């Protein structure tokens, strides 16, 4: 692993309430952050609660005799990322894949692996090929494993009378703040159909499941536990990207004991990613397309979960905050994708679309919304996932850009 480096939690304060048509926060100053590279092919990663380790999951390819087939092995690895040293490794089950055009390997499980530390840092939970593996964090010894309950296929009849069967795949997985439960979001090939399941890690059983409200859940990028452990939140865009936001709610908070909807918020954005603070502020960012003449500078919006009231708008760089938002568990900081965007026009299709000029993220204080730092350009960040560490001193991205970032 290559390593390159350069160079307490803030207490929660009363919410700032300002007119909703104003926006706080100049663009945080840009600087070169110290970075620690993660292994090539990292598909998911998480920073330990003590911010000393990072756990990753990726795949290794094994050649087999059949030239049209390959076997991949899913590998969970624990790293001392500051020293670039691998501490432990766990090899999960193998999956058969086929060789696609241009040499791509397609995982037939259709579910990308996900890995998370428990809030106390004692265990690692890895979802690989529709199986939950519970690992001891110190050395990645497997403590137990159990399969997910795969939702029934969804069928629909198209106008010519044929019946189409749609399978589901896992879109997200997150551990509860107490570490006793894990939430899994399934999304079917029908873009509006999703299902949430809760599992008890001790009993290895599904304890509750429910269908998500109607909406464009295919574009949802995650699920979020409220720090109190009583609510589970999700953003479901009420229209597809490149459309105007609809009038329906697009953020939902579910009771983790019953699955009932407890709160709804309409953001006025096309929201697919949210974060929630310990004092019940919900942070939302826009998914919508960067057009020729519109949606050039979306603000990050902050809402009171209890009342649904819009509390604050936070400005970012020239073309706004988009796509990804994350808050530290201690409630001290939040970040969002703030890469500069530009519109390009496809003459053949007469369609405008947005492209990234550069790819950065910015960090703000969650107590007063003051800007802290904007990262250097990070190629591939727009197509990656991005998370803030528990105390807000580090961030991690994985996917096309897989790094740990040291924050001031």
Q: How confident is the model at residue 278 (pLDDT cuts 50, 70, 90)?
A: very high
Helix %, strand %, coil % of the chain (to 5)? 0, 50, 50
Sort strands 223-225 and 361-365 into parallel, antiparallel or unpaired: unpaired
Q: Does the structure show a pLDDT above 90 at 294? A: no
Q: Measure CA 256 to chain center.
A: 20
Tell me the HSE value of 178 on the side-chain side, using a 13 A CA sphere: 10
Q: What integer best gives the mean pLDDT of the chain?
A: 87
Instruction: Look at strands 403-406 and 351-356 and give their pairing.
Output: unpaired
Q: Are 396 and 386 in contact (CB under 8 A)?
A: yes
pLDDT in tens, 1-28: 443 433 233 322 233 333 333 466 568 9
For the four alpha carbons of 317, 54, 225 and 214, in that order, the dihedral sign comes to: positive
- Work out the average pLDDT over 91-120: 68
Task: Please state, in angstroms and rounded to a whole number, the distance separating the CA atoms of residues 129 and 77.
Answer: 17
Q: How far apart are CA 199 and CA 397, in angstroms?
A: 26
Provide the whole-model pTM. 0.86
| Contacts for 154-163: CB closer than 8 Å, 24+ residues apart | 154/188, 154/189, 154/190, 154/193, 156/190
β-bridge partners, 209? 197
Contact 405, 33 (CB under 8 A): yes
More confident residue, 195 or 344: 195
Fold of 3-406: Methylamine Dehydrogenase; Chain H (2.130.10)
CA 377 to chain centre: 20
Q: Do residues 222 and 273 lie in contact, with contact meaning Cβ atoms separated by under 8 Å?
A: yes
Report residue 347's pLDDT band, with 50, 70 and 90 as the boundaries.
low
CA atoms of 42 and 382, how far apart (whole Å)? 16
CA-based nearest residue to 362, from 370, 373, 377, 351: 373
Tell me the two tokens of residue 373. 């730092």
Taking 50 as the threshold, does the pLDDT of residue 162 lie above it? yes
The encoded tokens of residue 211 equal 């269908």
CA angle 374, 356, 185 (to 5 degrees): 85
pLDDT at 401 (0 to 100): 97
pLDDT of residue 13: 28
Lowest mean pLDDT among 10-19, 103-112, 207-216, 294-303: 10-19
More confident residue, 347 or 74: 74
Give pLDDT, residue 64.
56
pLDDT class of 115 with cuts at 50, 70, 90: very high
Q: pLDDT class for 293, splitting at 50, 70, 90? A: low
Would you state the pLDDT for residue 6? 33
pLDDT at 188 over 90: no
* Tens digit of each residue's pLDDT (9 = 90 or more) over 200-240: 999 999 999 999 999 999 899 999 999 999 999 999 999 98
DSSP code, position 252: E
254/357 Cα distance (integer angstroms): 38
Mean pLDDT along residues 141-168: 85
DSSP structure string for 277-339: -TTSEEEEEE-----SSS-SSPPEEEEETTT--EEEEE--STT--EEEEEE-TTSSEEEEE--
The residue extents of the domains of the chain are 3-406
User: Residue 306: which region, alpha, beta or left (left: phi > 0; alpha: psi -120 to 50)?
Assistant: alpha
Highest mean pLDDT pick, 192-196, 295-299, 401-405: 401-405
pLDDT tens-digit map of 48-65: 999 999 999 998 776 555
Q: Hey, what are 193's tokens?
A: 């159909």
Looking at residue 104, its pLDDT comes to: 41
What percent of the chain is modeled with pLDDT above 90? 68
Residue 378: its pLDDT value, please?
98
What distance separates the 2 farthest-apart alpha carbons in the chain? 66
């Amino acid at each position: 692993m290559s390593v390159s480096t350069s160079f307490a939690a803030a207490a929660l304060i009363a919410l700032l309430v300002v007119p909703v048509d104003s926006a706080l926060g100049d663009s945080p100053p840009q600087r070169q952050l110290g970075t620690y590279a993660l292994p090539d092919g990292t598909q998911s990663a998480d920073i330990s609660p003590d911010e000393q380790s990072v756990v990753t999951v990726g795949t290794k390819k094994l050649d087999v005799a059949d030239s049209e087939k390959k076997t991949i092995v899913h590998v969970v690895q624990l790293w001392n990322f500051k020293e670039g040293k691998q501490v432990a490794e766990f090899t999960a089950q193998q999956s058969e894949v086929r060789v696609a055009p241009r040499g791509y390997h397609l995982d037939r499980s259709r579910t990308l692996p996900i890995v998370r530390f428990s809030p106390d840092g004692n265990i690692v939970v890895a979802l690989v090929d529709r199986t939950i593996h519970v690992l001891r964090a110190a050395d990645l010894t497997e403590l137990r494993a159990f399969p997910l309950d795969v939702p029934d296929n969804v069928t629909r009849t198209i106008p010519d009378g044929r019946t189409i069967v749609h399978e589901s795949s896992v879109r997200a997985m997150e551990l509860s703040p107490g570490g006793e439960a894990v939430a899994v979001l399934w999304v079917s090939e029908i873009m509006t159909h999703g299902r949430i399941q809760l599992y008890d890690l001790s009993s290895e059983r599904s304890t509750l499941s429910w269908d998500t409200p109607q909406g464009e859940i295919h574009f949802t990028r995650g699920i979020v536990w409220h720090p109190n452990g009583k609510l589970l939140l999700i953003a479901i865009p009420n229209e597809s990207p490149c459309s105007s936001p609809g009038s329906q709610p697009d953020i939902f908070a579910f009771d983790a004991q019953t699955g009932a909807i407890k709160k709804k918020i309409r953001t006025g954005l096309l929201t697919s990613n949210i974060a929630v603070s310990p004092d019940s502020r919900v942070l939302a960012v826009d998914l919508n397309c960067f057009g020729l003449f519109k949606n050039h500078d979306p603000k990050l919006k902050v809402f009171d979960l209890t009342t649904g009231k819009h509390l604050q708008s936070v400005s970012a760089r020239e073309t706004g905050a988009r796509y990804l938002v994350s808050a530290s568990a201690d409630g001290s900081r939040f970040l969002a994708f703030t890469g500069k965007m530009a519109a390009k026009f496809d003459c053949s299709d007469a369609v405008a679309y947005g492209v990234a000029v550069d790819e950065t993220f910015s960090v703000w204080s969650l107590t007063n919304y003051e800007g802290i730092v904007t990262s250097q350009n990070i190629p591939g960040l727009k197509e990656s996932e991005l998370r803030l560490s528990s105390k807000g001193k580090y961030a991690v991205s994985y996917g096309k850009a897989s790094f740990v970032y040291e924050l001031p």
